[in-house]
Amino acid sequence: MSNKRILIFSLAYYPVEGGAEIAVKEITNRISDIEFDMITLRFDQAHLPKEKIGNCTVYRINTSKNLYPFRAFLFARKLHKNRPYDATWAIMANWAGFAALFFKFYFPSVPYALNLQEGDPISYIKHKVWFVYPLFKRIFLYADIIQAISKYLADWAREMGYEGRLEVIPNGVNVKRFENENPKAKNETITLITTSRLVEKNAVGDIIDALKFLPVNMKLKILGTGPLESDLKQKTKDQSLESRVEFLGNILNDNLPKYLHEADIFIRPSLSEGMGISFIEAMAAGLPVIATPVGGIPDFLKDRETGLFCRVNDPKSIADKVMEYVNNPKLASQIVKNAKEMVVRKYDWDLIAEEMKRQVFDKV
């Protein structure tokens, strides 16, 4: 009996790296009895038009984001007629979702699974697609199964009118890779760290503003790049914080554990969040976490149990939570222990891949 074949629509993929791309790679690499193909954008001519990455054959097409749904559908139709697929899998309700929808229109008998892991506010997403909103809703309505990475995104699917099979399966983490075998030695400097794209929703500016409420021995390391980078650097300069804030730029996921292990407290005061795998990575690395109670974060962060909640858009609240960890090492230690146990129990990629296969891929 031949393996099941699944076609993935994803706007981006390796070497373009983000939470969704990491999730697809980690999941497909762990499922050997399914053949995965993917159609994605070719962002750089140095990227191969076709290559095998782990257990996924990746086809990259030369087109724009706006034309991707049409070009990807036409390319998928050609691939399907050559060697039929048993199902399609759209990574997020964006251009990839439209491509999967067009494929579903043309091949209605082929099951279609939709993955939701959007991090932007739902109101922003709806505003962005207002001119094609009726078609956008069909990305949800025509899915045979929807898998969301948080309860928050699952609620969104229902809000969009979807009444079918719905599974909440989070993204995961490679627990062994993030384990810290050599805990950081205590010293005078306390290092705060955040890992995120430098965009409005991640509120990195609030962490910089929080430093004025904190002792001068507290430093901040910012990992990531984005459109707000120059503004954040200017904010740092305007507040004479250059000696306390370090911008480290884009760090490959493989190198991330080293930076987390050198830090003391992880902070991301998000304005919105589909789930936020960066928090899970920090927990796996043994860092106490400070976050906001928005989006999918409450799925895994329970206040004073697996982390501390600060208020949204409130630098003083961030500073207060930092000092709570510093002044109460017993609480910090218990939170770290609870969080690590939770990650091992629920968020290891081996467990996530097994659940994806059982609850999603075996059902389509």
- pLDDT tens, the chain, 364 aa long: 578 999 999 999 988 878 899 999 999 999 999 999 999 999 988 999 999 999 999 999 999 999 999 999 999 999 999 999 999 999 999 999 999 999 999 999 999 999 999 988 899 999 999 989 999 999 999 999 999 999 999 999 999 999 999 999 999 999 999 998 777 777 789 999 999 899 999 999 999 999 999 999 999 999 999 999 999 999 999 999 999 999 999 988 889 999 999 999 999 999 999 999 999 999 999 999 999 999 999 999 999 999 999 999 999 999 999 999 999 999 999 999 999 999 999 999 999 999 999 999 999 9
Q: Percent of the chain, pLDDT > 70?
A: 99
For the CA atoms of 42, 43, 45, 46, the dihedral, rounded to the nearest 10 degrees, stands at: -100
pTM above 0.85, yes or no: yes
Largest CA distance in the chain: 66
How high is the pLDDT of residue 147? 98
Q: Which residues, 6+ apart, have CB-to-CB distance to 285 below 8 Å? A: 178, 179, 180, 257, 260, 261
Tens of pLDDT, residues 120-133: 889 999 999 998 99
Give the C-alpha distances (Å, rounded to integers) separating 15 from 25, 89, 105, 163, 187.
Answer: 11, 20, 31, 36, 37
First CA to last CA distance, the chain: 17
How high is the pLDDT of residue 41? 96
Pairing of strands 56-61, 50-53: antiparallel
Give the C-alpha distances (Å, rounded to integers) separating 239 from 190, 210, 233.
Answer: 19, 11, 10
Phi, psi of 340 (to 5 degrees): -65, -40
For the CA atoms of 201, 205, 208, 214, the dihedral, rounded to the nearest 10 degrees, stands at: -70
Q: Is 97 helix (H, G, I), strand (E, B) or coil?
A: helix
How high is the pLDDT of residue 186? 73
Joined tokens for residue 275: 């789930």
The 10 Å CB-count burial string (b at 16+, else e) for 9-18 is bbbbbbeeee
How high is the pLDDT of residue 182? 76
Tens of pLDDT, residues 245-295: 999 999 888 899 999 999 999 999 999 999 999 999 999 999 999 999 999
Cα–Cα distance for residue pair 256/262, rounded to 1 Å: 10
- Please provide the DSSP assignment of 205-232 as one string: HHHHHHGGGS-TTEEEEEE---TTHHHH
Q: Is 22 helix (H, G, I), strand (E, B) or coil?
A: helix
Joined tokens for residue 172: 């995961």
Give the C-alpha distances (Å, rounded to integers) separating 78 from 72, 74, 84, 302.
Answer: 10, 6, 10, 48
Q: Where are the alpha helices (DSSP H) in the chain?
A: 19-29, 68-82, 95-106, 122-128, 133-141, 151-159, 175-178, 204-210, 229-238, 256-261, 277-284, 315-327, 329-346, 349-359
The 10 Å CB-count burial string (b at 16+, else e) for 220-254 is bbbbbbeebbeebbebbeeeebeebbebeeeeebe
How high is the pLDDT of residue 172? 95
* Domains, the chain, ordered by start: 4-172+348-363 (3.40.50.2000), 175-346 (3.40.50.2000)
Joined tokens for residue 21: 């791309």
Joined tokens for residue 232: 């954040």
Number of helices followed by number of strands (H, E) in the chain: 14, 14
Q: Of 339, 338, 325, which is closest to residue 283 (Cα–Cα)?
A: 339
How high is the pLDDT of residue 1? 53
> Is residue 55 within 8 Å of 29, Cβ to Cβ?
yes
